[in-house]
Chain A
Amino acid sequence: MIIEVKRLHFSYGHRPVLEDITLEVEKGEVVTLVGPNGSGKTTLLKCLNKILKPKKGTVLLMGKDVSKMNLKELARLSGYVPQNGVRTFPSTVFDIVLLGRRPYIDWRVSSRDKEIVAGLLRLMGLEEMALRDFNELSGGEKQKVLIARAFAQEPEILLLDEPTSNLDLKHQLEVMNLVSSTAKEKGVAAIISMHDLNLASRFSDKMVFLRERRIYAIGSPEEVLTPDNVRAVYGVEAVVNKDSGRPYIIPLEPLQASKAAAATKTA
């Protein structure tokens, strides 16, 4: 068990955002967090690496309590890719990825640091852009750079906040392939918040449906990507097909508010 979340509660001031979250993630597992806007996906990710401090409950990373680790120690274990890259002062792609080595660098950049960064740029197909300004890149390229930065931390877990939401079809697949193959090859656990249920289904070992601050359903895509769950969590009528291996959904129409409430009760 690489991550164990036990009875986690979080609130912004008096407004509760997460309640009673319990979750376990294995080495090499890809776990997606899905659920409507405001259901707490991003907040949960941020509770895992101390960006936010939970009100109650514990997060264990490789058996150690995250709240008792110092930031540098944690940064060597956990890589984080934020939702959208912010504008920066002009900075080269190489320099941005090199920041992922910050938890290991005192002052001098070692030859190994440079090799790791160069290797990652090649892995991502960004060799040509090594010395280009980060701000000039397209959305997909930026996302890859930020993922490379997280990989450069040589983490045991990767936390990605909606890594595919601004990307075109090809970049979505490329990014997800990179993440899942790294997870499998290096035994890194990846926890990814996501809106696209089909992409989630295709790449995850485990899907976590969040609804109104709580985990509503958790399991393999085959187990949890069902019309009932989609209706209860999203309030959307949908068909789920399983003819191409992983289940995929075709959303039909949103439920009326009253029906949605009824669906919630029966579920």
Chain B
Amino acid sequence: MATEAREIEFAEIKELYTRFTARKVVFILGSLGALVALSLYATTLGSARLGIGEVSSAVFARIFPFAGIETTSFADVVVWHLRLPRIAMGIVAGAGLAVSGAAMQGIMRNPLVSPFTIGVSSGAALGASLAIVLGFSLVGAEKAVVVTNAFLCALLTAFLVYGLARMRGVTGESLILAGIAVMYFASAATSLLQYLATEEELQAVVFWLFGSLTGATWENVLVVTVILFFCLPFLMRYSWDLNVMASGGDEVATSLGVNAARVRIITLIVATFITAGIICFTGIIGFVCLVAPHITRLLIGADHRFLFPCSCILGAILLVGADTVGRTVFSPVVIPVGIVLSFIGVPFFVFLLMTRRKEYF
């Protein structure tokens, strides 16, 4: 009798966990649906009036060319040339920024770390300013000089910070401290450039610093998508290792068969690469990196197998949502998404922090 009761209890724990996992999968699928719906809705908004039906048929007519969906050439042009590049950029940029933030926080076991704390953004800003103000470029690609310069300076700065932190042993604290030091230096240099800039150049620099999806093209989207395509599997592959590292120190990781130092450096490089690859097109959009992973952890927990895909989706929702608000509320004036994001995201994040019981720091 007694053993029978025990067996049931035993099966119950397993069942409980299986259901717990299934709920996460359902949540992820649900948020994916929400992202698609939001994107379609965002595509209907703009100066040319298009209903959700027109937008959907224009979108799906190209995705499924043989399905015989009818659309007008006007809708096709508005949707595919004007609105979708921007929304697609929002999706890939949001996803990439969120996932690199999640990865960095995991390997450092520190909720304050993001690719931005290790200098990626300040480096990118400096690189972009150099290109805009002085016309100086590390490599001579004429057309994309701002983009390549921002990208390369972002990488250089991140590796400088990492190198500095390494001298004291790479911990969350040493990275943040080295990041802050380098960030101040880069900011000072950027400010100096702004001070020296002509009015026109200054405007360009400031606009770049706000972070915006204006000017997103299919080529940009393609580049970011390719980066994600190669980088995401890397991160996903390390999910278990990151779970181990996030739940204990390096010593525990070693005892569970994980080479913490190697996982950390590879993850760091991948996360930096993704972030630099995105913000060189969009300018400084920082908040997604930090906050999307936190929101995801509050909602479905810190298991990286689910945290990574879910952060991607929530990051995309955040960015597309914020951009949609930014370009519609004060239309025709477009508020840069970096600004809107903080206005919407911060209260939401504070709300979650206050109402969720789970401890964080």
Q: Which residue of B lies closest to A136 (CB)?
A: B359
With A88-B109, A88-B248 known as contacts, the answer to whether A71 contacts B257 (CB < 8 A) is yes
B232–chain A nearest beta-carbon distance, Å = 15
Please name all residues of chain B whose beta carbon is closer than 8 Å to the beta carbon of A89 when the two chains form the complex: 105-106, 109, 111, 246-247, 297, 302, 360
Interface on A for B, CB 8 Å cutoff?
46, 49-51, 71-76, 78-80, 82, 85-92, 94-96, 99-100, 102-103, 105, 107, 109, 111, 114-115, 117-119, 121-122, 127, 130-131, 133-136, 153, 159
Residue in B240, B241, B247, B303 whose Cβ sees the most chain A Cβ within 10 Å = B247
Minimum C-beta distance from B48 to chain A (A): 45
Inter-chain contact A135/B359, CB cutoff 8 Å: yes
Measured CB to CB, the closest approach of chain A to B98, in angstroms, equals 15
Residue from A72, A95, A118 within 8 A of B10 (CB atoms): A118
* Known A-B contacts A49-B254, A94-B17; A82 and B301 likewise in contact (beta carbons under 8 Å): no
A80 touching B255 by the CB < 8 A rule?
Answer: yes
Q: A51 to B255, Cβ gap below 8 A?
A: yes
Asked if B333 CB lies within 8 Å of chain A CBs, one says no
Q: A127 to B16: give the CA distance in the assembly, Å.
A: 11
Q: Is B173 part of the binding interface, using a Cβ–Cβ cutoff of 8 Å? A: no
B13 contacts A122, C-beta separation under 8 Å: yes
Q: A49 contacts which chain B residues (CB < 8 A)? A: 254-255
Residues from chain B with a CB closer than 8 A to the CB of A109 are 21
**Cα A72 to Cα B259 with chains together (Å):** 9
Q: Are A72 and B257 also in contact (CB < 8 A) when A85-B248, A86-B248, A127-B13 are?
A: yes
Cα–Cα, bound, A130→B303 (Å):
15
Residue ID in chain A nearest B11 by CB atoms: A118
List residues of chain B with CB within 8 A of the CB of A46.
251
Contact in complex: A102, B359 (CB < 8 Å): no
| One of B17, B239, B249 near A131 (C-beta < 8 A) | B17
B78-120 CB contacts (< 8 Å) to partner A: 105-106, 109, 111
- Expressed in whole angstroms, the Cα–Cα distance for A38 and B18 within the complex equals 45
**How many angstroms from the CA of A51 to the CA of B255 in the assembled complex?**
7
Residues of A close to B249: CB separation below 8 A: 82, 86
The reply to whether the CB of B266 lies closer than 8 angstroms to some CB of chain A is no
Q: Measured between alpha carbons, how far is A136 from B357 in the docked complex, in Å?
A: 10
Q: Which of B16, B244, B298 contacts A102 (CB 8 A)?
A: B244
Chain A hits for B70, CB < 8 A: none
Q: Report yes or no: B17 in contact with A114, Cβ–Cβ below 8 A.
A: yes
Please give, as numbers and ranges, the residues of chain A lying within 8 Å of B254 by CB-CB distance: 49-51, 71
B6 contacts chain A at the CB level, 8 A cutoff? yes
- Asked if A102 contacts B109 (CB within 8 A), the reply is no
Report if B174 contacts A (CB, 8 A): no
**A90 near B20: Cβ-Cβ < 8 Å:** no
User: Given known contacts A95-B303, A130-B17, what 16 new A-B pairs fall within 8 Å (CB)?
Assistant: A49-B255, A51-B251, A51-B255, A75-B257, A76-B257, A82-B251, A88-B302, A89-B111, A102-B240, A105-B240, A107-B240, A111-B14, A115-B14, A118-B10, A122-B13, A130-B13
By CB atoms of chain A within 10 A, which of B13, B17, B21, B298 has the most? B13
Given contacts A51-B255, A75-B255, A91-B247, contact A131 B16 (CB under 8 A): yes
Q: What are the residues of chain A within 8 A of B20 when measuring CB–CB? A: 92, 94, 131
Q: With a CB–CB cut-off of 8 A, which chain A residues contact B18? A: 114
Greatest chain A CB density within 10 A among B106, B257, B302, B358 is at B257
Q: Which of B14, B111, B257, B359 contacts A103 (CB 8 A)?
A: B257
B252 interface residue (CB < 8 Å to A): yes
Q: Quick one: which of B251-273 are within 8 Å of A by CB?
A: 251-252, 254-259
Of residues 1 through 38 on chain B, the ones whose CB sits less than 8 Å from some CB of chain A are: 6, 9-14, 16-18, 20-21
B241 to chain A, nearest CB (A): 8
Distance in angstroms from B221 CB to nearest chain A CB is: 29
Which residues on A sit within 8 Å (CB–CB) of B239? 107
* Cα distance, A78 to B358, chains bound together (Å): 33
A90 touches B251 (CB 8 A): no
A113 to chain B, nearest CB (A): 10
28 CB-based A-B contacts, threshold 8 Å: A51-B254, A71-B257, A74-B257, A75-B257, A86-B109, A88-B302, A89-B302, A90-B301, A90-B359, A90-B360, A91-B247, A91-B303, A94-B13, A94-B16, A95-B243, A95-B247, A96-B247, A99-B243, A99-B256, A102-B244, A107-B239, A107-B240, A107-B305, A115-B14, A118-B11, A127-B12, A131-B20, A159-B255
Q: Shortest beta-carbon distance, A254 to chain B, in Å?
A: 32
Across the interface, which residues of B come within 8 angstroms of A121, CB to CB?
13
- Tell me the bound Cα distance from A107 to B240 in angstroms: 8
> Is B256 in contact with A153, judged by CB distance below 8 angstroms?
yes
* Least Cβ–Cβ distance between B300 and chain A, in angstroms: 10
Task: Give the distance in Å from the alpha carbon of A133 to the alpha carbon of B241 in the complex.
Answer: 20
Cα-based distance from A72 to B253 in the complex (angstroms): 10
Cα–Cα distance between A123 and B258 once the two chains are bound (Å):
27
- What is the bound-complex CA distance between A82 and B303, given in angstroms? 21
A144 to chain B, nearest CB (A): 15
Query: Given A89-B297, A90-B301, does the pair A75, B256 have CB atoms closer than 8 Å?
Result: yes
Kindly provide the distance from the CB of B344 to the nearest chain A CB, expressed in whole angstroms. Answer: 24
Q: Which residues of B contact A80 (CB under 8 A)?
A: 251-252, 255
CB distance A103 to B256 under 8 Å? Answer: yes
Quick one: given A88-B248, A90-B302, are A79 and B255 in contact (CB under 8 Å)? yes
Cβ of A100: which chain B residues have Cβ within 8 Å of it?
Answer: 256
User: CA–CA, A78 to B256, complex, Å?
Assistant: 9
Q: How far apart sit A26 and B301, CA to CA, in the bound complex (Å)?
A: 41
